[in-house]
Structure 1
């Protein structure tokens, strides 16, 4: 597993945990950076992803809600929401990651961690976000 793949998974874990515990994800990130819960500190890219998502939270949610075609964010599995937020940030606001890589990584995470229907949904929604990203940034 590559370094950025691991960083995405850790960012997903933080977003998911914050939602489940109903805590602010930025506060949780700061807490984990100050006192890691594992022997391996969070990768820099994990922090960049979480900060990027937090910084564009409203815009990301609007994009996902607009293009999810009848699937409100609240109705999506929590894992899917976290994966979609990370990938949407990478697609729209991070020029260092090719769209195809962000989409493929998101699909792979949902294949491993979510429902059987999630990979197809995530792939389709993120492909649409990629198509319209120039109007979003």
Structure 2
């Protein structure tokens, strides 16, 4: 059995995701960075909502007011796309049953969504939201972004799982 490589740091993930060959071509570099920040913050917000039971508007306010000004491993996070983040969080909550059903269809037989790690579940819900409800964003961009976010939190195994699940969801909803 080989040992999984150590997950990348969040800073390395952000740098990787903001290289031109990885990102779509329709946004400026600044807008791409803002979207990446919004995706990362969206995953964090979904995680916090699940753990605390706080409502969506409370989380939108808290994250808009305080989290976008935060840092990432000692480096400023950068300006985030607050509208993108807010739309994502509200839609994931409103459409959670549809989003969860799309994810569940991609799980191995006998697995339930509630058995998946909370952070991984937040990553999958975020990616499934974009694939299903933001068809203006290329599926390759969405999948790549969330695979890289998974690498920041986990190892290669989980990143491959996210890749496979989101790729399957993309085929189902697009």
Q: TM-score, normalised by structure 1?
A: 0.85
Matched pairs, number: 132
2:106 aligned with 1:67: yes
Give 1:37's aligned residue.
66
Say which structure, 1 or 2, has more relative contact order (CA 8 Å, 6+ apart): 2
Give 2:96's aligned residue.
57
> Is the contact made by 2:45 and 2:63 (CA closer than 8 Å) also made in structure 1?
no
> Is the contact made by 2:41 and 2:67 (CA closer than 8 Å) also made in structure 1?
no
1:72-111 mapped onto 2 (5 Å cutoff): 72-111=112-151
Q: Select the structure of larger CA radius of gyration.
A: 2
> Is the contact made by 1:99 and 1:130 (CA closer than 8 Å) also made in structure 2?
yes
Question: What stretches of structure 1 of length at least 5 have no aligned partner?
Answer: none
Change in Cα spacing, 1:24 to 1:4, as seen in structure 2 (3 Å) is same
**Which structure shows the bigger proportion of residues in helix conformation?**
1
User: Stretches of 4+ moved more than 6 A in 1?
Assistant: none
Show CA shifts across 1:44-69 (max 9, x none): 21111111211211100111112212
The partner residue of 2:54 within 23, 40, 52 is 23
Aligned-pair CA distance for 1:39: 7.0
The CA RMSD measured in Å over matched residues stands at 1.9
Question: What stretches of structure 2 of length at least 5 have no aligned partner?
Answer: 1-13, 15-32, 70-78
